[in-house]
Amino acid sequence: MSLLQGRPLIKTSLAALLIGVLGIVTGELGQLFPSKGSNIVGIVWQPDNATVGISGDWDRLGARELLVQWTAVDNQAFIPGTTLPTVPVLPDWARIGKEPWAQDVILGLAGHFSENLSRDNIEQLATLSAQLAKVKTPLNVTGWYFPAEVDPSWSRAKELPALLAKLPRPLWISVYDGANIGPAATADWLKTWLPDDIGVFFQDGVGVYARTAPVARTYADALRARLGKHRVRIIVEAFRPQVGGGFRSATAAELKPQLAAYEGYPLYLFDGPHYVTPALVKALSK
């Protein structure tokens, strides 16, 4: 009887050993041959009333970090505990914080849907952002994002260092080249005023056909050369203009070469709930 009981134990031990060995081998192979979408580390979420119930399977692509564009927009808050009125339905932040694609969160602060309105009220947004940053959430916040999208045509961008001095670090902003002055000039412009403790998300512009992915790569390379490797990440526009106006999800055929062009950079898909659908995730995973 004892011998019969011993056999399953031996089989179990051997099975455990084999699983352990396979796990080590698989891990080493994974480092040698990264899985598809391995450069994707996060998704961007631009909260609005239509997406407060955010859900998805973006972790299948490698995403584990959520960049929330803002927690207050147009003087309405998406989090409780602020001095602002809240949106009609608040996101379930406790649930979001447990999602595999939101293990780390870069939390956006105060903004406006209108870029012009944001730029005209930058002082107010900075003050409000400092207040929002003190509100506790059930998220693993690893950084903060001030929803200022800067480009070389914005003359007041150089006022940002003083305005953002009271915001917590690590702090991020986003940048694009709306004036098309070129990669080196854009990087040089940023270097003249951007504090060393603020990082940038570069908006690739591919989704609006402002430039191709290979050209966007040259911008990222120029920014990295001037600002440092760890201060530059790329926002991958996972959308395209659609006939009749507005935007649609990019197809896998459109997105795969875009992603491939940015090898070596941390990539964030814009934006998960609106454009990176389950069907697109499935197609990208093939």
SS3 at position 27: helix
Indicate whether 18 and 84 sit together in one domain: no
Residues 119 and 252 in one domain: yes
**Alpha-carbon distance 87 to 91, whole Å?**
9
Same domain for 152 and 219? yes
pLDDT at 152: 97
* 18 and 111 within one domain: no
Closest to 81 (Cα-Cα) out of 131, 8, 21, 7: 131
- Residue-level pLDDT at 71: 99
Handedness of CA 53, 72, 153, 262 (dihedral sign): negative
Q: Exposed, middle or buried: residue 85 (CB in 10 Å: 0-12, 13-18, 19+)?
A: exposed
Contact 54, 91 (CB under 8 A): yes
Closest by Cα among 282, 276, 224, 236 to 56: 276
Residues 29 and 44 in one domain: no
Work out the angle between the directed axes of helices 183-193 and 213-227 (0-180°, nearest 10).
30
Q: How many domains does the chain have?
A: 2
Co-location of 187 and 102 in the same domain: yes
Quick one: 126 and 24 in the same domain? Answer: no
Same domain as 178, residue 81: yes
Do residues 21 and 46 both lie within one domain? no
First to last CA, the chain: 50
Instruction: Give residue 137's domain range.
Output: 36-285
Q: Are residues 156 and 186 in the same domain?
A: yes
Q: Digits of tens for pLDDT over the chain (286 positions)?
A: 222 223 222 222 333 333 333 333 333 333 333 344 459 999 999 999 999 999 999 999 999 999 999 999 999 999 999 999 999 999 999 999 999 999 999 999 999 999 999 999 999 999 999 999 999 999 999 999 999 899 999 999 999 999 999 999 999 999 999 999 999 999 999 999 999 999 999 999 999 999 999 999 999 999 999 999 999 999 999 999 999 999 999 999 999 999 999 999 999 999 999 999 999 999 999 8
Examine the domain organization and report whether 40 and 22 are in the same domain: no
Asked if residue 80 and residue 41 are part of one domain, the reply reads: yes
Q: Half-sphere exposure of residue 123, counting CA atoms within 13 Å on the CB side?
A: 0
